[in-house]
Amino acid sequence: MEQTNIALLEERIGYTFQKRKFLDIALTHSSYANEMKKNLSSNERQEFLGDAVLSIIVSDYLFHTFHLAEGDLTKLRAAMVCEKSLCEFSEEIGLGGYLKLGRGEEMMGGRTRPSILADAFEALLAAIYLDGGIEPARKFVLGFVVDLLENKEHFAFSDYKTMLQEIIQKNPEEKLSYVLVEESGPDHHKCFVVEVHLNSNVIGRGSGGSKKSAEQAAAREALKLMGQT
């Protein structure tokens, strides 16, 4: 691969490799490695590692950001790391155009095949992790994950605020409000504490890595006290 193309890919992913071999392996599909017959390493081993790195980064982020039940966290993580999402991440950086494929795979449209793009994304993540460690890997992954989480239509987890609002609005005289009572931690790892008030009474309290997730946690506690969850 030409140096200019490598530099363009590095610019797109926001990371410059110290050891380009990791990136080269990440871009080498098994069909190409088998066809060349030069003891080339395909990206399959790095894909294996990337899958594990992806899981811990996403799990850690969701755990600290959303104070949801284990089942809801599992659903969120599954949506983050499924083939469809990883394929979309790859398409955002045009990863398919950089892959080295065998002639047969090339002819069959391998550059746009979802499974190949998803695997390549995991192999690329492993390359970043092997070259620079967990922090650049985390930065790379969260650049995609945070954007995806903002589009809630992807996910089927409970919106506790809406559930609580629907219950309270049955009594028009009741007023529901959320109050931020505490904010702590460094900018990259904030913790917010929110109370949900019904008129002047505190009916729930929750914390989270964002104000929105803290509000959801507070609403969930209120619903639990009402016997609704």
In degrees, rounded to 5, the angle at the alpha carbon of residue 181 between the alpha carbons of residues 179 and 185 is 130
Give the number of other Cβ atoms within 10 Å of residue 29's Cβ: 24
- Annotation marks residue 51 as catalytic: yes
In degrees, rounded to 5, the angle at the alpha carbon of residue 55 between the alpha carbons of residues 64 and 220 is 35
Alpha-carbon radius of gyration of the chain: 22
Are 13 and 124 in contact, with CB atoms under 8 Å apart? yes
> At a CB cut-off of 8 Å and minimum separation 6, what does 72 contact?
66, 157, 158
Catalytic residue among 10, 24, 51, 91: 51
> At a CB cut-off of 8 Å and minimum separation 6, what does 94 contact?
12
Torsion of CA 210, 191, 146, 129, to 10 degrees: 180
- Annotation marks residue 119 as catalytic: no
Catalytic residue among 122, 131, 195, 215: 122
Query: What residues are annotated to the active site?
Result: 51, 122
